Structure 1
Amino acid sequence: MKTLPVNWLTEGLIDFEYKKYMLLAYLKAAKEEFGQHRLYPVLSDLIMHYRHLLQVKEHKQLVYETFPQRISRADFEKLELVYQKIVEDDETMQQIEEIIRFAAPLFNQTVASGQELYEFVERHLEISPVGITPMYHDEGYLFLDAYPGKETQVYLYRITVFENTYEKYRGINTQLLQTVRRGLAQTHENLKVQLLRERRALPNPATFAVVSRIPVPLEHSLLPIAKRSLVKFVTNLAA
């Protein structure tokens, strides 16, 4: 889909009509993605851009943590220097502020639409343990059933914890192992037994099944939402 550069506010021609055109084209493309129930990566990009706008609006400065991981510290520092020159230019800053006033409510509305779609998909996911669940939940298997397909995607998952000064974050990595045709004889329990026989590295793995009750794209919605749902589920088990 059409993307918006990380530094769209400050790069190129700083003109309200030009930036308005850029923004409206981007938001139109984002809404078209949502119309196809495709949430990622567009929703995370929208949230990043919206947070960036709010930081600039409230503090008239850029904050490195609001940017995606793909921008390096060195690139950010160059961008910050450019932005500082803009802040010192009253006329240019007025243009930036006008763009922000126009863009912020539009971002807010579009992000809200994406979050509403996310919650709709999440409500139609069923997550449950497969077999006996061990005490250690941060590594194991994820069985993902799309709707109305007749296949189970089998993933190896690993949950990791990141900490900063204020709080802990949980992330999850997945690796697709195989795709299995479902049937009366191939239940989730039977599939787990089969994996135990074939893969000795995890003798007693935590295993969870996530089943979608509505049709949504696997890579752009179902898998990322299933992963986040699993992290929340496992966190509650450990509480």
Structure 2
Amino acid sequence: MKKLPVNWLSDGLIDFEYKKYLLLDYLQGVKTEFGAQRLYPIFSDLIMHYQNLLQIKEHKKLVYEQFPERISRADFEKLELVYQKIVEDDATMKELEEIIQFAAPLFSQAVDTGKEIYNTVERHLEITPVGITPIYFNEGYLFLEEYWNQETKIYFYKITIFKNTYEQYRGIHTQHLDTVRRGMALTHENLKLQLARENRDFPNPATFAVVARARFPFEHSILPIAKRSLVKYLSALGNYPVRE
């Protein structure tokens, strides 16, 4: 999978043809991933680049919250200084604006394609609570299944709440615990009871089953979208928006 550096606009030679080459090479990689219906991690990366581009286009500034976790505040501040010098240089800024004008519609088209795939996968996921959902549901179990096989993947999930400048968001962390073959004697309810017996700290654990009703790449589409769909589902029970 081809990557585009977070500082691709300001790093190295600020030349339209050079940046055009970098961008088109990256977007070709995005197209390949989307063509195979593999959404993540490329979709998150694509959205980050597009949002940063729009911020630069509209406000001539960078926004730290839109950068991925791998860039530190110190690294961001260095990048911000570099970009400020670019903004103050009229000739360089003119070249950069030409690059942005070229890149923005291409990013927009790619993001729209990603959204279409995301929505298609999400429409084919069914979420149901297993048994009675307790008052505390910020951690529990996720049963993830693909309808065409007999396996249930069991995850422990934990909801994390974090803030940016404006809002609080819910995120999710999961840990794969086991994969079991389901059958007549191993219903979701029985599996939940078995987990409760094994972990006395959760006598009535919040448990949800997500079933994929169509075939998509598991690691790159079903799993990440199932996690995000569960966060949306749980957010309907709380007061926090979901960060896509």
User: Normalising to structure 1: TM-score of the pair?
Assistant: 0.95
Maintained 8 Å contact 1:147/1:216: no
Deviation at residue 147 of structure 1 after TM alignment = 4.1
Deviation at 1:4, TM superposition (A): 0.2
**C-alpha distance in 2, partners of 1:123/1:168?**
26
| Closer/same/farther in 2, CA of residues 17 and 147 from structure 1, 3 Å limit | farther
> SS state of the match for residue 156, structure 1?
strand
Task: Summarize deviations over 1:60-112 as a string: whole Å, max 9, x none.
Answer: 12222221121111111111111122122222111110000000000001001
SS in 2 for 1:55: helix
User: 1:165: Cα distance to partner?
Assistant: 4.7
Q: Does 1:189 align with 2:189?
A: yes
Counterpart in the other structure of 1:219: 219
Quick check: 2:65–2:164 contact (8 Å CA) kept in 1? no
Q: Distance in 2 between matches of 1:163 and 1:68?
A: 15
Q: Report the AA paired with residue 49 of structure 1.
A: H
State yes or no: 1:235 paired with 2:223: no
SS in structure 1 at match of 2:12: coil
| 1:163, distance to aligned residue in structure 2 (A) | 3.0
Within-5 A mapping of 1:87-98: 87-98=87-98
Deviations 1:5-62 (A, max 9, x none): 0000011111111111111111111111111111111111111000111111111122
| Structure 2 counterpart of 1:205, one-letter code | P
CA deviation vs aligned residue, 1:138-186 (integer Å, no higher than 9, x gap): 1110000024232111001111222345322011111111011122322
Q: Could you tell me how far 1:215 is from its partner in structure 2?
A: 1.1
Alignment of 1:199-210 (within 5 A): 199-210=199-210
Partner of 2:117: 117
RMSD, aligned CA: 1.4
| SS of equivalent residue, structure 2 residue 153 | strand
Give the partner amino acid of 1:5: P
Q: Which runs of 4+ in 1 moved over 6 A?
A: none
Find the aligned partners of 2:235 and 2:82 in 1 and give their Cα distance: 42
The structure-2 alpha-carbon separation of the partners of 1:238 and 1:15, relative to structure 1 and needing over 3 Å to count, comes to: closer
The match for 1:61 is: 61
After alignment, is 182-191 or 209-218 more displaced?
182-191
1:176 alignment partner in structure 2: 176
Judging changes above 3 Å, is the alpha-carbon distance between structure 1 residues 164 and 7 closer, same or farther for their aligned structure 2 residues?
closer
User: Which residue number in structure 1 is paired with residue 74 of structure 2?
Assistant: 74
Mapped contact 2:155–2:178 kept (Cα < 8 A): yes
Aligned residues: percent identity?
71
Aligned to 1:145: 145
Structure 2 unaligned runs (5+)? 240-244
Unaligned runs of 5+ in 1: none
Determine the C-alpha separation between the residues in 2 that align with 1:150 and 1:22. 44
8 A Cα contact 2:142 2:154, kept in partner: yes
Sort the Cα spacing of 1:147 and 1:31 in 2 relative to 1 into closer, same or farther, 3 A: farther
Quote the residue 1:20 is aligned against.
20
Residues 22 and 165 of structure 1: is their aligned pair in 2 closer, same or farther, counting only changes over 3 Å? closer
Cα separation, 1, equivalents of 2:66 and 2:237: 31
Taking a change above 3 Å as real, the CA distance of residues 182 and 161 of structure 1, as seen in their structure-2 partners, is same
What is the CA distance between 1:216 and its match in structure 2?
Answer: 1.4
